[in-house]
Amino acid sequence: VVWAPFFNRHWIDSAAQSIWSDDNTLAMWIRVEVALAQVQGKLGIIPAAAAERIAEVGRRQEDFDLDVIVADIQRTQHPLVPVLREFERLVGPESGGWLHWGATTQNIMETAQALQLQSSVDLMLANIDAVMKRLIGLATDYRATLQAGRTHGQHALPITFGYKVAGWAYELRRHRQRLVALSPASFVARIGGGVGSYAALDGRGREVELALAKELGLGDPELGGRADFDRQASVVGAAAMAAACCERIAHDLVFLQRTELAEIQEDHYPERVGSSTMAQKRNPTRAQRVVSLARMTRSKAAPALEAMVRQDEGDGMAGGVAEFLVPELCILAVSTFSAMDALLGSIRVDAQAMERNLASSGGSIFAEAVMMHLGRTLGRGTAHRILHEVAAKAAEGGTDFSDEVRRHPHLASLAGTMDLDEIMDPARYLGDIDVVISALADGSATADGRSVNGAEMDE
Amino acid sequence: VVWAPFFNRHWIDSAAQSIWSDDNTLAMWIRVEVALAQVQGKLGIIPAAAAERIAEVGRRQEDFDLDVIVADIQRTQHPLVPVLREFERLVGPESGGWLHWGATTQNIMETAQALQLQSSVDLMLANIDAVMKRLIGLATDYRATLQAGRTHGQHALPITFGYKVAGWAYELRRHRQRLVALSPASFVARIGGGVGSYAALDGRGREVELALAKELGLGDPELGGRADFDRQASVVGAAAMAAACCERIAHDLVFLQRTELAEIQEDHYPERVGSSTMAQKRNPTRAQRVVSLARMTRSKAAPALEAMVRQDEGDGMAGGVAEFLVPELCILAVSTFSAMDALLGSIRVDAQAMERNLASSGGSIFAEAVMMHLGRTLGRGTAHRILHEVAAKAAEGGTDFSDEVRRHPHLASLAGTMDLDEIMDPARYLGDIDVVISALADGSATADGRSVNGAEMDE
Amino acid sequence: VVWAPFFNRHWIDSAAQSIWSDDNTLAMWIRVEVALAQVQGKLGIIPAAAAERIAEVGRRQEDFDLDVIVADIQRTQHPLVPVLREFERLVGPESGGWLHWGATTQNIMETAQALQLQSSVDLMLANIDAVMKRLIGLATDYRATLQAGRTHGQHALPITFGYKVAGWAYELRRHRQRLVALSPASFVARIGGGVGSYAALDGRGREVELALAKELGLGDPELGGRADFDRQASVVGAAAMAAACCERIAHDLVFLQRTELAEIQEDHYPERVGSSTMAQKRNPTRAQRVVSLARMTRSKAAPALEAMVRQDEGDGMAGGVAEFLVPELCILAVSTFSAMDALLGSIRVDAQAMERNLASSGGSIFAEAVMMHLGRTLGRGTAHRILHEVAAKAAEGGTDFSDEVRRHPHLASLAGTMDLDEIMDPARYLGDIDVVISALADGSATADGRSVNGAEMDE
Amino acid sequence: VVWAPFFNRHWIDSAAQSIWSDDNTLAMWIRVEVALAQVQGKLGIIPAAAAERIAEVGRRQEDFDLDVIVADIQRTQHPLVPVLREFERLVGPESGGWLHWGATTQNIMETAQALQLQSSVDLMLANIDAVMKRLIGLATDYRATLQAGRTHGQHALPITFGYKVAGWAYELRRHRQRLVALSPASFVARIGGGVGSYAALDGRGREVELALAKELGLGDPELGGRADFDRQASVVGAAAMAAACCERIAHDLVFLQRTELAEIQEDHYPERVGSSTMAQKRNPTRAQRVVSLARMTRSKAAPALEAMVRQDEGDGMAGGVAEFLVPELCILAVSTFSAMDALLGSIRVDAQAMERNLASSGGSIFAEAVMMHLGRTLGRGTAHRILHEVAAKAAEGGTDFSDEVRRHPHLASLAGTMDLDEIMDPARYLGDIDVVISALADGSATADGRSVNGAEMDE
């Protein structure tokens, strides 16, 4: 498991952990060794019987003694050789000699890691798809629920809650596309041997490699070396960006739950406790958890970039970091996305609170609406200057902006042309919000927007 | 300019700086305001004559007084309003009132930044293409130049220098593809107004936005908001990864210039000085510079991810970081790539030194070749154990590995089947190196490998 | 200058920039070369007349042609040799030969940088002291101004605004102490030559070094090498932490200015503009600027740590990063602290809004007060469970917590012992707030708390 | 445990893990609750009998059912309340009501974490002291063992291996001092309750807090809040810097083991395996492991700085990160230092290889020695220019530098004054190396240098 104190162990997604468990890691190593033998058996590079025997033993992972292996790893200072020795012992002398033929340790470990990375990205996508469905649902359900749009923490213009959610959904959909675009090029099999030259495979290296890739459902590495890490780093980058998107959403959901806003509430069921001392506390714990997990996910991007810089044909300094970082990233990213799903599944939207807050700024949120109206006559710049003064007067005096507009001597003369009640009706100043939400729900918003709802989502 | 002390100001690429200069930034702002007016003029949203007048003034950037603007920015605490006021003043009262119609500051600044970012990525690609050409040339020229392949700093297996370069080229080509793949989705026009709802455009917001995007050669933003930063962050990520690749190459070139290796030399022309006190110094300054620039480029990834987390419909805390970070990233990335190009253009390859170093490890670099030979008879594992002992004996005793192989009692009996001279001929133990280099030069190495040499490279 | 687009150039502190300007950097190099000559002249290592002549020329920096030097730096690929040549030319052949005696380039550059770093830290401290004075003033002035204390965004317990400020002040004071503790050990002179062995100084190296350190007011380096960067990194760390503290304060001040809170306002003087389109906007621009600057400052910590890892006796890869990073860090940190000072100087506190918000949570903020009262009779845990139910009922039903307490059957029987009005009087539930504020103002809060107000503050 | 795949689980220090195990974390929570009760019992705030009963139960940690607690944590969404309920159940109704009196969850968790952090820093120091002893031993033992000093990978000037080690030791000693300086101010007890105001303690909050701190051997927090993280961040920073120092040392030790250098060897005992395919490999695995661990340690600095920025009086978004990050940092830092100790305990120094490499640069390493000699007559600058030409000639022609010096027409005329053999004797060009090593061993190198060997080291 990712290190987690007992009090937040439930933060960590268990499916993601399983992919990187000891058992599954060993299983993936065995799977790669077996696939290599099978491919080489078919190609006549090793005896077919040896390949068969290796595969047979590989099916009985329970025969491998992991405790013995772990102890041997410390003694030999080598991560794979003890596994190979155990494997060879189980296979027996005759066929065991054809195990790991032409391979080096990193080939097995990196190819196995590619399989685990691929499964992890699949799991990320499954969780993101679940989140996308919820977001599209919320955007549609609340497409007309009025809310104050805010920039820099200040009321700016009226929006709807559905529109806010649509903004989240559009962004997350782009991250989903980035993650989808990683396959298959980012998950490759490699069998280039000690320096990636395929020297131990007698001129049939690329042939073996491509066959192995096919056997394992992995991509072509182009060159079987061990000194690049760009594919893995691109997964880290895409996952970290998607996590940052979830962090943005969750951060907003923390804010919207603030006592003074109270536009959103998590599921405060009776057993849930907010504080050991303040009994009234209804904390946005689920939203905060997403933020924390996302920050931890993001923190893997910088060391992943550093781990791309490797010396010569192989470099254990960077490799050692990668062995910890890749699983940690995967587990944290999946946990972020599944916590995001749980969060969205738990929230209640308080439309009345949204309306109350929208009304609380005394009409000043319509300054632009008035300006655009006046601008046709006075010019935009002049109208802006007038309304800037009016708004300042209202703010300083604690009066209503709409009253000040009506009272302003200059604007009074334009009164005939303005129906202020209409201009200051938030439902009439929503621009293309409906268009944007519909396009999202249709999944056809843009040329490059692959649909994530409906059938294609299951790809 | 990026801050640079006078003593390394020449590190910074001047073409990249020009894109982000005051003059060009102002030019891009004007360009966006003009394009907006023109598009709105065509669509009948503002008077055609006003649009024309705005375009006319926009062509005379020299009329804008940047000093006045800068002073006004400080006074108003607003980045764009002083420019608008100057623009309006120059346009005159009649048409000036239609300037910036329906837009908010961030729309102009972000769209202008997208133009600058696009130009910067083009410049990155131009420099990377130049680097790619050099790498492919080196890989081809030195495809048969023998060299020690090294992992963890230890001689591993023989390679050729061309193969080492091919490994760099394959990776950089993937980074190039990632940068190419960013267009056009990463460079978008946005005109959604204060909160991205297009409220000020009377239900014609998306229409204006798409027309503006077309006019400026930019992509469709899907939603005209201000609270996402994923597109820019993906550029930062792709550029940082490509820089890390250059860092890997340059770091190897620092190492290969070490006194004890001396396989590579930079251009030590007479005027070039290595040290103010050690007259003999021939430092790998060009290679070190690439490493330093790449590290600075990489350091932008973490704050870019953090800047993706924005509150509500707009957030100046993250936005303020982005205003510095995006230009810095672009300037540093381009500088990294152009310094990489200069470095590769300056190196001399010492094939004799490579051969001398290859020979220096007393034949132990052929342990695998011998093992693979013996493995057919003894089994791979057994052969490995024997040769591990033989190699240890040679290492501890300071003797030649090949002599120890010949002397080993067990191996002696197998002597008849082994022609050790042949087995230990590095030129015969190069695996698929030639295949891999040819595939690179052909540009057809893999299904997803878009060619970077030849015609397509000019895309 | 730090790279800054024209529209936020005023973010950058000009005094900090001056320290790292071309002119001052050259001045510091000259100062170190002159001090070295003078010290060596006094010690009889070089002729006294040569030292005098060198000092004389050093006083006329205007004679050095920086343009020629910059061009020469590019040609020689060396940062200092062109300066030395210009210096030697100005000094003349006789004395010029004794310039830079026994030194290497890095000695001069690092010692000069130490002087600039020291000045920068002094400037940081001056700005932090100004901030501290404002914070202590605010803490004292508003020591009794009631406000809702909030955790996780939820009303928690009543506090006063002075207490909130005191929390900021205590933390910043600790950062100030960390910065003060850096001197003098973090600013050292070094004259160990090419590898730090003082080889060129005939066994008098440490003697020269200590004399030079004394002459320049710098510390003793212990060893005159070039391969460590821990002192500079510790300055980066301390400055980044202090910036993060300012970020915390400013982030709270952004929140307290939100429309729904409105407890704080920046100085919205008439010329100040919030938005080019939304005339009512009164954005927390000053507070946001501090956050942005602090984030940029923080982003230097990771590359500074990486720059500590240097190969052998000197490593230009890390060194090249440091040449950019150290000035950038200093300029950004000082800018953060001076922007913080400007922010605090500009805010207005709205005590009525604070009281209004405090009252808005319907008395539930007193759940703990009631619990502590009941706990004496019922036990803390039981009281918590009862009040958790009561608070949930109020929250779900939208009723007042205090009414629910009164209505609760179990609590009714305890009514005689509770004076709810007294228990729910925020001014009576402030704990040791006054004690803590007084201790801050006294500057004697703790054993390790060096006073920052009053006389000691000027140290 | 920190997440670690089975194949590098032995990288992780088990003593460090124990500090942060579930059992010990629970133990520390219980310890803090017990200490709080005892202190309050003594002060007459809660009944003495209740305090006694609480302490009695606290001594039987085995009675707490951690599985039940973990399940309850997930159900209540609260980390501590389930522990309190179990505690209260075990204590019984009478005394159980006085448990956790006046405290909030964060008070207990942060105070317990301070205890664990303090133990972790003690463990860091114990390991660093072991490393320091080895470094001082190596510096002394090899004080006269000649080696090439290198900068930028190029031979620069002769040094001794002892001097190189002394440079490492001086730096690490400074890091040790920084870690020592953290105590006791960085490890504090806090009992300020929900918002740090001590509201629930009836005006006796600071009294309780100081008594609790004394009871637990912790420092005074000045203010009992929950919104600052600077003390913990300063520990992260100091540990990350010390790790970076170890990374520098280990990185050099990787380089010195390179095939072409071979100046250092790790312990290649017979069972140790370098590669599954290249039997000759003697990889610098121990040194690489230190580098990997140090990089992971460093990667915690940036998220720790970010976690300092907390909203209002408490912020679970940052807090959630800290709950993972602090233990991870501690475990990784201790693992780095103990791996460093193991590395230094395993190396063999090959003095002959050092001498051979030193000689390999054909005398050009003495260019400065010759220059300083000639400089007295010709001036330093002129001498530098002549030797720059001579060295270039030798480098381009592949001849010996010393031969070229002798052949140079200009230098020939000065031959009488130069005994080249003496000038080019590395043992005569070591400057103050001996002085610097002796000062290190004496532990009296500088005013601020607290001794780390001898008695004080055991502090």
What tens digit of pLDDT does each residue of B213-252 get?
999 999 999 999 999 999 999 999 999 999 999 999 999 9
User: What mean pLDDT is predicted for residues A33-55?
Assistant: 98
Q: Is C412 exposed, middle or buried (0-12, 13-18, 19+ CB in 10 A)?
A: exposed
Query: Is the distance from CB of D104 to CB of D194 less than 8 angstroms?
Result: yes
Cβ distance of B254 and D153 shorter than 8 Å = yes
User: What mean pLDDT is predicted for residues A70-86?
Assistant: 95
| A contacts of D224 (beta carbons < 8 Å) | none
Residue B415's pLDDT is 62
What tens digit of pLDDT does each residue of A220-268 get?
999 999 999 999 999 999 999 999 999 999 999 999 999 999 999 999 9
Q: Which helix (H) or strand (E) holds B2?
A: none
Helices (H), C230-274: 230-256
pTM across the whole model: 0.96
- Interface mutation target, options D7, D36, D325, chain A, most CBs of A under 10 Å: D7
Nearest to B361 by CA among A363, A427, D282: D282
- Give just the sign of the alpha carbon dihedral D225, D230, D236, D238: negative
The 3-state DSSP class for residue B279 equals: coil
Residue C436's pLDDT is 97
Q: pLDDT tier at A121 (50, 70, 90 boundaries)?
A: very high
Cβ distance of D10 and A254 shorter than 8 Å = no
Cβ distance of D194 and A277 shorter than 8 Å = yes
Nearest to C446 by CA among C136, C177, C162: C177
Cβ distance of B268 and D392 shorter than 8 Å = yes
Residue C451's pLDDT is 40
Percentage, residues of chain A above pLDDT 70:
95
Q: pLDDT tier at A443 (50, 70, 90 boundaries)?
A: confident
Tokens coding D107: 């008070």
Distance CA D111, CA D114 (A): 5
| D contacts of B367 (beta carbons < 8 Å) | 278-280
List the single residue in A154, A257, A270 with the smallest CB-CB distance to C283.
Answer: A154
| B contacts of A222 (beta carbons < 8 Å) | 170, 436, 439, 445-446, 449
Query: Is the distance from CB of C243 to CB of D305 less than 8 angstroms?
Result: no
Query: Is the distance from CB of B225 to CB of B315 less than 8 angstroms?
Result: no
- Interface mutation target, options D256, D259, D372, chain B, most CBs of B under 10 Å: D259
Which stretches in chain B have pLDDT values below 70? 1-3, 415-416, 444-459
Q: Is C70 exposed, middle or buried (0-12, 13-18, 19+ CB in 10 A)?
A: middle
Residue C159's DSSP bridge partners are: C147
Nearest to C88 by CA among D387, D378, B275: D378
| D contacts of A279 (beta carbons < 8 Å) | none
The 3-state DSSP class for residue C188 equals: strand
Distance CA D421, CA D278 (A): 44
Query: Is the distance from CB of B312 to CB of A150 less than 8 angstroms?
Result: yes
Residue B449's pLDDT is 40
Q: Check whether the bond before B184 is cis (ω within 30° of 0).
A: yes
Q: Check whether the bond before A184 is cis (ω within 30° of 0).
A: yes
Question: What is the CB neighbour count within 10 angstroms for residue B257?
Answer: 24
DSSP for C351-362? HHHHHHHHHTTT
Cβ distance of B368 and D273 shorter than 8 Å = no
Cβ distance of D320 and A6 shorter than 8 Å = no
Tokens coding A116: 């685990």
**Pairing outcome for strands A146-151 and A154-160:** antiparallel
Q: What angle do CA A228, A229, A235 make, to 5 degrees?
A: 150
Distance CA D50, CA D95 (A): 4
User: What mean pLDDT is predicted for residues D140-162?
Assistant: 98
Helices (H), D92-229: 93-96, 105-141, 161-181, 205-216
List the single residue in C244, C433, C445 with the smallest CB-CB distance to D197.
Answer: C433
Cβ distance of C164 and D96 shorter than 8 Å = no
Cβ distance of B78 and C3 shorter than 8 Å = no
Nearest to B12 by CA among B262, B311, B332, B244: B332
User: What mean pLDDT is predicted for residues A440-454?
Assistant: 52
Ramachandran class of B155: left when φ > 0, alpha when ψ lies in -120 to 50, beta otherwise: beta
Distance CA B179, CA C137 (A): 53
Query: Is the distance from CB of C176 to CB of C243 less than 8 angstroms?
Result: no
Query: Is the distance from CB of D323 to CB of A8 less than 8 angstroms?
Result: yes
Kindly report the backbone phi and psi dihedral angles of residue C350, in degrees, each rounded to the nearest multiple of 5, phi listed first: -105, 95
Distance CA D89, CA D99 (A): 11
| B contacts of A198 (beta carbons < 8 Å) | 431-432
The set of residues, in sequence order, having a beta carbon less than 8 Å from that of A221 and lying 6+ positions away, is A188, A189, A190, A192, A209, A213
Question: What is the CB neighbour count within 10 angstroms for residue D224?
Answer: 32
Query: Is the distance from CB of D444 to CB of D454 less than 8 angstroms?
Result: no
Distance CA D172, CA D118 (A): 20
- Interface mutation target, options D72, D78, D195, D423, chain C, most CBs of C under 10 Å: D195
Kindly provide the b/e burial profile for residues C38-54, where b requires at least 16 CB atoms within 10 angstroms of the residue's own CB: bbbbeeebbbeebbebb
Question: What is the mean pLDDT of each successive set of 10 residues along chain C, which is 459 residues long?
Answer: 80 96 97 98 98 98 95 94 96 96 97 98 98 98 98 97 98 97 94 97 97 97 95 98 98 97 96 92 97 98 98 97 97 98 98 97 94 93 94 93 89 77 94 97 52 36
Query: Is the distance from CB of D313 to CB of C164 less than 8 angstroms?
Result: yes
In whole angstroms, how far apart are CA D438 and each of A257, B287, C206, D130? 64, 37, 13, 19
Distance CA D456, CA D444 (A): 12
Q: What angle do CA D74, D77, D82 make, to 5 degrees?
A: 75
Cβ distance of A153 and C259 shorter than 8 Å = yes
Question: What is the CB neighbour count within 10 angstroms for residue C252?
Answer: 24
Residue A4's pLDDT is 85
Q: Which helix (H) or strand (E) holds B353?
A: helix B351-359
Distance CA A168, CA B228 (A): 8
User: What mean pLDDT is predicted for residues D178-195?
Assistant: 95
In this structure, the dihedral spanned by the alpha carbons of residues A41, A82, B369 and B160, taken in order and rounded to 10 degrees, is 100
Averaged confidence pLDDT in chain A: 93
**Pairing outcome for strands C146-151 and C154-160:** antiparallel
For A247, name the nearest residue in chain D, comparing CA atoms only.
Answer: D317
Nearest to B101 by CA among A368, A405, C274, A149: A368
Distance CA D413, CA D408 (A): 9
- Interface mutation target, options D253, D280, D300, chain B, most CBs of B under 10 Å: D280
- Give just the sign of the alpha carbon dihedral B423, B424, B428, B433: positive
List the single residue in A234, A244, A445 with the smallest CB-CB distance to B309.
Answer: A244
User: Smallest CA–CA separation between B178 and chain A, in Å?
Assistant: 9
The chains in contact with chain C, meaning 3 or more Cβ pairs closer than 8 Å, are A, B, D
Type of residue at B390: V
Distance CA B67, CA B70 (A): 5
Cβ distance of D273 and A81 shorter than 8 Å = yes
For C185, name the nearest residue in chain D, comparing CA atoms only.
Answer: D448
Distance CA C444, CA C162 (A): 18
Tokens coding D428: 């005569």
Q: What Rg do the C-alpha atoms of chain B give, in angstroms?
A: 30
